[in-house]
Amino acid sequence: MIQLHSEHDIQEHCDSSPTPLVLVPTMGALHEGHFSLIRKAKELAGEHGKVVVSIFVNPIQFDRAQDLDSYPQPIAQDLQHCERLGVDYVYTPKSEDFYFEDRSIEVSENSLSSLLCGATRPGHFNGVCMVITKLFNILQPTAAIFGQKDYQQLAIIRRLVRDLSFRTEIIAHPTVREVSGLAMSSRNVGLSSEELSLAPAIREGLLKARELYASGEKSTDRILSKFRLHLDRRAPLSKIDYLECVCADTLQALTEVDRPAVIATAVFFGPVRLIDNIVL
Ligand code: PAF
């Protein structure tokens, strides 16, 4: 495994690397969810291709300076995981080298990013679009893998690739879950043991809502009520931040499920905000 900091060096390696070159973009603090993305990348790269993992805590996607300052960066541990998983290149740029101080070109997404999580995180998805644009331009990967847990991020990156004609194929990886059904997330460590036992209610509620849809119900009000009812019963102290049934492509809220749709939610357990979704 080779670790590279500079744009020039990683470019040289990627340019001369056999294809497919499969990218797993991360912000580090790697956990089982990332491991599973890396294993998928290895599978896609096959015997001859290469896997590149980027580890970069992208400052411009943080809307609160405090979140950026407290973001965990266990780089030595992350590198060990990458080595163990058979990653070929790890790209670890420094922020001051990655972004020019006087940069004057931005990438902005003007539709999907104001909805769902974007409603309370101004600028976040533009920051994600910018870093992905740069990574795709620097590395020119054949494919890049993103977890389906961040459904909105995935939908926006698909738009980015479509609208800016990137040639990288976007691969969606199913959400990796604990045995309890709780979606794996670096935020789960912030849950108390009681909250940890109640948080799987999110997944259970989503499954119940999907069951109602599968039985023929089309009204999103009634489908979402099923979720709310379950959460109220199982985890009465949790607080729903948002709960919506949206078009799988445009993320616009639906009143009837008359096209491919997704139920997306964010729920607070104490101070910890957990997101999850289910495709209908
Ligand atoms: O999902 C993440 O970890 C980040 O948003 C990403 C895609 C690596 C961009 O910084």
Identify the DSSP state of 175.
P
Separation of CA 25 and ligand 1 centre (Å): 6
Averaged pLDDT score across all residues of the chain: 97
Residue closest by Cα to atom 5 of ligand 1? 128
Separation of CA 51 and ligand 1 centre (Å): 17
User: Mutate which of 23, 27, 71 to test ligand 1's pocket (most atoms within 8 Å of Cβ)?
Assistant: 27
Check pLDDT > 90 for residue 247.
yes
Could you tell me the domains of the chain? 2-173 (3.40.50.620), 186-279 (3.30.1300.10)
Separation of CA 244 and ligand 1 centre (Å): 23
Residue type, 252: Q
Residue 41 tokens read as 């990348």
Q: What is the mean pLDDT of residues 56-81?
A: 94
Q: Is the CB of 60 under 6 A from ligand 1?
A: no
At 162 the pLDDT is 98
Atom of ligand 1 nearest to the CA of 26: 8
Q: Is the CB of 154 under 6 A from ligand 1?
A: no
Measure the CA–CA gap between 22 and 25, rounded to whole angstroms.
10
Q: Which of 34, 81, 124, 173 is catalytic?
A: 34
For 75-98, how does the pLDDT look when each residue is reduced to its tens digit (9 = 90+)? 999 999 999 999 999 999 999 999
For 175-187, how does the pLDDT look when each residue is reduced to its tens digit (9 = 90+)? 999 999 999 998 8
At 56 the pLDDT is 98
Residue closest by Cα to atom 2 of ligand 1? 26
At 196 the pLDDT is 96
Residue 143, exposed/middle/buried by CB under 10 A (0-12, 13-18, 19+)? Answer: buried
| 8 Å CB contact between 223 and 205 | no
Separation of CA 189 and ligand 1 centre (Å): 19
Percent share of the chain, pLDDT over 90: 96
Residue closest by Cα to atom 8 of ligand 1? 26
For 95-143, how does the pLDDT look when each residue is reduced to its tens digit (9 = 90+)? 999 999 999 999 999 999 999 999 999 999 999 999 999 999 999 999 9
| pTM for the structure as a whole | 0.96
Q: Is the CB of 54 under 6 A from ligand 1?
A: no
Residue 260 tokens read as 């491919």
At 182 the pLDDT is 97
Q: What is the mean pLDDT of residues 227-235?
A: 98
Measure the CA–CA gap between 55 and 129, rounded to whole angstroms.
16
At 63 the pLDDT is 87
For 8-56, how does the pLDDT look when each residue is reduced to its tens digit (9 = 90+)? 999 999 999 999 999 999 999 999 999 999 999 999 999 999 999 999 9
Residue 49 tokens read as 């291709």
Edge-to-edge strands, sheet with 50-55: 2-4, 89-91, 50-55, 21-26, 143-147, 169-173
User: Mutate which of 26, 63, 170 to test ligand 1's pocket (most atoms within 8 Å of Cβ)?
Assistant: 26
Check pLDDT > 90 for residue 64.
no
At 234 the pLDDT is 97
Active site residue 34: yes
Q: Is the CB of 26 under 6 A from ligand 1?
A: yes
